[in-house]
Amino acid sequence: MAVHLVKLACERPDNLGRSLSQWDCVELARQLEREGLVEHISPETVRRILEHHKLKPWRHHLWLSPHRPRDAEFCVRVAAVVELYTRLLQADEIVLCVDEKTSLQPRPRRHATRPAKPGRPTQVEHEYRRAGALNLLAAFDTRTGQVYGQCYGRKRQREFIAFLEYLATSIPARIKTIHLVCDNARAHTGKAVQAWLKRHPRFLVHFTPVHCSWLNQVEQWFSILQRKRLRIVDFASKPDLEAKLLQFIAEWNAVAQPFNWTTKSAAKVMAEAVPAAA
């Protein structure tokens, strides 16, 4: 029976005619009983058997198939971006990491969120209303930690160009070269964007390799935004959400610090990401 249990745990439930995404101890116990291998077995007994074989089929990890190999070209592109992050910049150039944080919903609650009290955590009403969504376009200055941000209703070339226009007017004219690090999304690579960039030669775009979001420093800042401002989603409306996001950016910029990227730390990440290149 134990051998059959291990075999079950190593197969997808769908392949055995069960409509389950993953096995758990309860469902495995039921499957053994359904197949008549045991009259009764407890989920705890199932857990102990699986633990002995170091099996936890209720857990999962994401992995990436090798259709996008991390080859020499990948390493060259990563190295080029890391150099932008670590080399000494001229006085008239900056490096900005750009991306969108999409589908941010206000989700106004039916009752006001209650602040924490002694012996009681913050209480958030379970039910909320749908009130649309916003997309935050942000640019993170790798040398100062300053953030430029604007909210838009959609994520297209048109909105990305509007954000570039915002950067063009916000960044002093004494800055002659603005390096933009971004991914290969259509909104960043389309013909309209390319035409805009040709008319604004102080912007130089550097694209990260595919499946390489860890290389874009604004993603690190997005994780801070998520933890500090968006962990509890409770905003009165889209305008309220936009105002709170821009306020967060202003408060961040008042005490901003850059992330500490070095060639040594980047080499360590690369060694883990591309073992063959180590």
Q: Where are the alpha helices (H) located in the chain, listed in sequence order? A: 2-9, 25-34, 43-52, 72-86, 157-170, 186-189, 191-199, 217-228, 238-254, 263-273
- 102 touches 245 (CB < 8 A): no
- What is the rounded CA–CA span in Å between residue 165 and residue 168? 5
Give the SS3 label for residue 185: coil
Longest Cα–Cα distance in the chain: 80
In 3D space, the residue among 138, 109, 137, 140 whose CA is nearest the CA of residue 125 turns out to be 109
Q: Give the phi and the psi of residue 218 in degrees, each rounded to 5.
A: -65, -25
For residue 205, the cross-strand partners are: 180
Residue 132's φ and ψ, nearest 5 degrees, are: 80, -165
For residue 269, give the nearest of 227, 202, 217 by alpha carbon.
217
CB atoms within 10 A of CB 136: 22
pLDDT of residue 227: 95
The confidence score (pLDDT) of residue 200 equals 97
Residues of the chain below pLDDT 50: 275-278
Cβ atoms of 149 and 249 closer than 8 Å: yes
pLDDT at position 262, please?
79
For the CA atoms of 265, 267, 271, 273, what is the dihedral angle to 10 degrees?
A: 80
Cα 39 versus chain centre, distance: 47
Report the Cα 219 to chain-centroid distance in Å: 6
Q: Edge-to-edge strand order for the sheet containing 203-207? A: 147-152, 134-141, 93-104, 177-182, 203-207
CB contact at 8 A, 6 and 53: yes
Six token digits for residue 72: 């020499």
Domains and CATH numbers, the chain: 2-52 (no CATH), 72-111+127-277 (3.30.420.10)
Given a contact cutoff of 8 angstroms between Cβ atoms, the answer to whether 196 and 164 are in contact is yes
